[in-house]
A and B are shown apart, each in its own frame.
Chain A
């Protein structure tokens, strides 16, 4: 009687190990972050490229790179960033830091220096995820020249607990 059901124990253990293995394989496949991916949108006036992780976890430090390749002169290039780029994230540094911050319809804007046709501008954000943050967030980014939008890049990020 004492041994009743004991023959199932190894199978429960094996099932648990398979679950652990699956979690580790998914981790190796970068499902839980923070491997970066490169997204880009090419418009007539400029090309916007963003390199950022699709997923992250609490406490992780990572970098996001915005690159603008101007096809024509951009007098007032501006990035309009969704709140998802800021909520629950600590920005350690922004390089170059000589940008001008603003707001447009509740979204933060980053005004850059003028970019001549054929030139490019690279902006780097160093982030750290606040430990108590989790969930899915939209991180769209609009490249504008003054008031006119040139290109919109859609991106979302998942922060795992």
Chain B
């Protein structure tokens, strides 16, 4: 019984932590960030399985995680009001070529970083951007101004 409960609690805890970390950290991982995530995964493993070396324990832990993933995605699909809590909302970073400072500060993204992302999308100037939106996946999508 314990391993199922531990898995469920740790899943919810990790979900909360990932939401607190913010999308930027998850979408743009540097080698150090990747290392930190691996270390977190190791801590999670110790907390969930502890001294359990059994296949049965692994099946229960993985099964619980899988069911929790399905449950949260179902809740997100079935109850739109829960979606901002579970997945977050898209955030507008640039509107009509002008960075929105409050949103940039909240997401800890600099104008230079947006400009770099825009260049990857073949957009050489923020002035040519109609909308730059930080999606719930952590990606920044760009909608250029018409004619640019």
Q: Which residues of A contact B (CB under 8 A)?
A: 17, 20-21, 23-24, 27-30, 32, 34-35, 57-61, 128, 131, 160-161
Contact = CB atoms under 8 A, between A and B. Distances in A.
Interface of B: 1-5, 51-57, 59-60, 63-64, 66-67, 70
B3 A27 contact: yes
Contacts of B67: 17, 20-21, 24
Contacts, number: 57
Contacts of B56: 32, 57, 160-161
A29 B1 contact: yes
B51 A60 contact: yes
Contacts of A58: 52-54, 57
Given A17-B67, A24-B67, A59 B54 contact: yes
A24 B11 CA distance: 15
Given A27-B1, A27-B3, A29-B1, A57 B54 contact: yes
Nearest to B5: A28
Contacts of B59: 23
7 contacts: A17-B66, A17-B70, A57-B53, A58-B53, A59-B51, A128-B51, A131-B53
For the complex of A and B, the 3 pairs showing the least CB-CB separation, nearest first, are A59-B53, A57-B54, A131-B53
B55 to A, nearest CB: 5
A59 B56 CA distance: 11
B63 A160 contact: no
Contacts of A28: 1, 4-5
B1 A59 contact: no
Given A24-B4, A32-B57, A59-B53, 11 more contacts: A20-B66, A23-B60, A23-B63, A24-B63, A24-B64, A24-B67, A27-B1, A27-B4, A57-B56, A58-B53, A161-B55
Contacts of B1: 27-30, 35
A60 B1 CA distance: 13
Which of A24, A60, A160, A161 has the most C-beta atoms of chain B within 10 angstroms of its own C-beta? A24
B11 to A, nearest CB: 12
B58 to A, nearest CB: 10
